[in-house]
Amino acid sequence: MDSAKDLNGAEKSIIALDVWLQSQAGAYVRAFEQACLDELTADIFGFNAIQIGVPQLDALAANRMPNKWQAATRTSTDNELAFAAGGKQIAVALDFAELPFASQSIDLVVLPHVLEFAAEPHQVLREVERVLIPEGQVIICGFNPASLWGVRQGVGRFTSNDYLPASGEFISMPRLKDWLKLLNLGVTRSHFGCYAPPCRTAHWLSRFSMMESAGRRWWPYLGAVYVVHAIKRVKGMHIIGPAWNKKTSKRPQAVPAANRE
């Protein structure tokens, strides 16, 4: 009963995020994340890639793998969100904590804002680690609690005037890195963006557009959104070098007495 209740709550949380992403502030976030994901995924190669959650983004648009899927919760597929960015239909409806893929079968997994709205974020990450091949890659998008938006959200919890979806449990970058490290998922790159104050209209968001370049230069870790790229490391794997044959190794040659000075 409790697990079913938790799952239902998680699905409601994700739907709340879907609705928020349709707002003008949500469009601002989606524009940054789409550009960042296009850059990160363009040069990731393999055969199988999957985007889990947030169908408003096409996280794999720039990727060239032959097999690409977009997945959403079963609740999302029951309404208008059954169609992803560009009108593509959702390919897989699933429970994020139990991925229907074989172990070590996926080359790339993209998780845009899934962990912070999942009932069991650790279990979601464990499933991602399970399905990734050795040296497989995962990209995670999240809201940064150490930002103006994070402060605004904290104040909103006391005033009942949330800026971001109230049901989200936002994860700091150091905390996320610790989770990934425990699963042997090594972070290689991280990006921050969306430095404008938490405004609700496109007019005011655009008025603060100059803060994007200033933020990247002067306070890069205080962006409202982060994107983390990590690789699955497998312990015990070593690069094999050439096998040297000791019997054929050359020994120092003696110099004939006649040639000695």
C-alpha 90: how far from chain center:
19
**What residues contact residue 83 under an 8 Å CB cut-off, 6+ apart?**
55, 89, 90
**What residues contact residue 260 under an 8 Å CB cut-off, 6+ apart?**
none
Residue 47, both tokens: 């055969």
Query: Mind listing the pLDDT tens digit for each residue in 118-166?
Result: 889 999 999 999 999 999 999 999 999 999 999 998 887 777 788 988 8
Residue 4, both tokens: 């079913």
What is the layout of strands, in order, in the sheet containing 225-232? Answer: 92-93, 67-72, 48-52, 106-112, 132-143, 225-232, 185-193
- HSE at residue 20, side-chain half, CA atoms within 13 A, is 20
Q: Which residue has the higher pLDDT, 194 or 75?
A: 194
Report, at the CATH architecture level, how domain 2-239 is classified: 3-Layer(aba) Sandwich (3.40)
Span of 69-83, 180-194, 223-237 with lowest mean pLDDT: 69-83
Token look-up 């100059």 returns 210
Sequence spans of domains, the chain:
2-239
Q: Is the pLDDT reported for residue 86 higher than 70?
A: no
Q: Is the pLDDT reported for residue 76 higher than 70?
A: no
Span of 26-30, 72-76, 180-184, 193-197 with lowest mean pLDDT: 72-76
What do you get for the CA distance between the two ends of the chain, in Å?
95
Query: Mind listing the pLDDT tens digit for each residue in 208-231?
Result: 888 888 888 899 999 999 999 999
β-strands 225-232, 92-93 pairing: unpaired
59 phi-psi bin (left φ>0, alpha ψ -120 to 50, beta other): alpha
Average pLDDT over residues 66-70: 91
Give me the DSSP letters along 52-121. ES-TTS-TTTT---SEEEEEE-TTGGGSGGGB-GGGPBP-EE-BTTB--S-TT-EEEEEEES-GGG-S-H
**DSSP 8-state secondary structure symbol assigned to residue 200:** S
Summary mean pLDDT of the chain = 82
Query: Mind listing the pLDDT tens digit for each residue in 3-34?
Result: 444 445 555 567 778 889 999 999 999 999 99
What distance in Å separates the CA atoms of residue 187 and residue 231, rounded to the nearest whole number? 7
How many helical (H) and strand (E) elements, i.e. helices and strands, does the chain have? Answer: 7, 7
